[in-house]
Structure 1
C-alpha cells in the first residue's frame, strides 16, 4: 500500500529541519563561546600572545583581535604609569650607616612588553623582583662615593646619580622611569648628634665673629672720634694768640660785671679770709 505525502506530513518534516538548524546554530554558538577566538585589549594595556606556551614577539595593541582557540593564549599587560617604592641600606665613604627611601613612577615600555613578559613572567612581581633590588644596588654604589655630610649637602647630585643608575638597570628589562625622588636619608643616632653639635658650634662661631666685627667697628669709630677731637684742639691751639687771650679776659670780666649785684663780699678775720658771697 502506498503512503501519500499529505500536507500534514510535509509540515512536520519542515519543522524537524528547522529544529535541526536551530540546534546546530545553538551548538555552534556554544562552541564559539567556549573556544573564545576573539580577545579585547583594553585602554592602557597591551596583549602578549603565547602559542603553546611560546611567547610571540608581536604585541597586540588596544582593541579587538583574533586568536586561534586552544592553540593561542593572550596575556593582557598594563603599560600605564605605576608607583614603586624601595628602601636601601648602605655605607658612606666615611663608613657611616645610611638608610635611603626611594620613590619612583615607572611604566613598561609598550613595544617591549613581550620581552619583559618573557624575562620576568608574572609582571605583578616587578616591584619585588626588579625595583627593590635595583634600589638597593643603586644606593650602595652611589653612597659609597660620598661622605655622610656630602650626602646631605649634595643631595641633588646624589639623586641624579642614583636615578641614572636605576634607569640603566631597569631599561634592560623594558621598564622606563618617569619620576624619581629620594624621600629620605636616615643616619645613625650618633651621627645625627654629631651633626647637631657641629651646627651649634658653627652658629656660635658665627655669632662670635659678628660680635668681634661689631666691636672692631665701634673701636674704629671711637678712634676716629678721638682723632677728630685731637685735630680740633690742635687747630684751636694754633689759633691762640696774646691778643686773643686778652680779649677772652676782657669778655670774662664783662660777663662777671653783668652778673654782679653791686654788693661787696663780706670778709671775716683770721689768717685765712672767708668771703661770703650770696
Structure 2
C-alpha cells in the first residue's frame, strides 16, 4: 500500500514537471535526533527560568522607601535600604513602606478625587466643642513621615496602619483640648495662638512615643468653621466696633481742628503782644531821648519858621501856647486864613 502511494506521488510529480503545472511545497526537515543529556540540560534551564519568573527571589527598593523583611512571619529588626535585595522564595517576603513626607488633610469641602494620591489622605474635619459647648469644626493639615531608621520596629509594634494609630488620634485629641479652652467668638481673634498651641501639642505628643516611630514636619491650621449664629454675632460686633472707631476718628479730627485754631489764635495774640511791646519800647526810647535841650532846639526851629512867615506877612498875629510848647498858631489878618504849622 505504501509503495502504491509513493508511485502515485512520483507519477504526479513527473507529470507536473513535464506540463509545468502546480508543484506541491516541500515539507521542512526537522532533526529530532538529540541525545538525552543535551535535552535534559535544556529542560533544566527552562525550568529554572520559569521558577525565577514565578518565585521572584529578589526585590528592588526605591529611594524614599524601606523594605521590611519577614522570615517565616517574623520581621527583621533592620529595614532594607534602597537597592536590589535577594530573598528566599516562599520563606522570606519583603513589605515596602513609604518614608517620604505624608499628609493628612482634615476637611469637609475638599475634593477627595483631586487631593488624594501618593501619600495624601483626606479625613473629615475635626469637630470640637468650645468652652460653652458650641460645636466648632477645625480644618487642619498635618505633614509627617515614617522614621526610616526604625521603620521595621514601627511596623512590628504598630502594624502597617501606624499613622491611623499614632498621627490621627493625637491630632484630634490635641485640637479638642486646645480649642475647648476658648469661646467660639474668640477663636478667630486667637487664631495664631491656637495654631501654635496645636502644633506644639501634636509635636510634643508624637515625639514622646516609644522608639520615635514618626517625625512631624508641620501642622497648618487652615480654617475655623463657626456656627452660623456665632458668625452673625461676630459680624454685629465688628460693625459696632467700626462705628465706634469712626466716631473716635471724628472726635480726634475735631480736637485737632480746635487745637489748630487755638494755636493760630494764640499766634495772633502773641504777635500783637510782641508788636505792642515793641511799640512801647520804641516809645520809651523816644521818651528817654527827649531832653530839655532838645526841646529848646525844636522851639528855636519853630520860632525861626514863624519869623520867616512874619517877614512876608507883617500883619499876622502869633499865638503862643502856654509853656512855650509847639505847635504855635498864627493868623493872617488880611486873608482871614488860619494855618497850623507843626514841627517836624
TM-score, normalised with respect to structure 1 = 0.70
- CA 1:63 to 1:233, structure 2 compared with 1: closer, same or farther past 3 Å? closer
Identify the residue that residue 157 of structure 1 maps to in structure 2.
Answer: 193
Q: CA RMSD in A?
A: 3.0
Identify the residue that residue 71 of structure 1 maps to in structure 2.
Answer: 91
Identify the residue that residue 186 of structure 1 maps to in structure 2.
Answer: 225
Displacement after TM superposition at 1:130 (Å) = 4.3
Identify the residue that residue 181 of structure 2 maps to in structure 1.
Answer: 145
Equivalent positions of 1:127-276 (< 5 A) are 128-171=164-207, 172=209, 174-225=213-264, 232=272
Gaps in structure 2 of 5+ consecutive residues: 1-32, 107-124, 281-344
Give the total of aligned pairs.
Answer: 226
Q: Does 1:99 align with 2:137?
A: yes
Give the structure with higher Rg (CA): 2
Deviations 1:179-199 (A, max 9, x none): 321110111112111211111
Structure 1 CA distance for aligned equivalents of residues 263 and 55 of structure 2: 104
Displacement after TM superposition at 1:81 (Å) = 1.6
- CA 1:235 to 1:53, structure 2 compared with 1: closer, same or farther past 3 Å? same
- CA 1:131 to 1:209, structure 2 compared with 1: closer, same or farther past 3 Å? same
SS of aligned partner of 2:188: helix
Deviations 1:134-153 (A, max 9, x none): 32211101112334354323
SS of aligned partner of 1:105: strand
Structure 1 CA distance for aligned equivalents of residues 267 and 96 of structure 2: 92
Which structure ranks higher in relative contact order (CA pairs < 8 Å, sequence separation ≥ 6)?
A: 1
Displacement after TM superposition at 1:82 (Å) = 2.1
Identify the residue that residue 53 of structure 1 maps to in structure 2.
Answer: 73
Bigger mean CA deviation after superposition, 138-147 or 29-38: 29-38
TM-score, normalised with respect to structure 2 = 0.57
SS of aligned partner of 1:152: coil
Larger % of strand: which? 1
SS of aligned partner of 2:75: strand
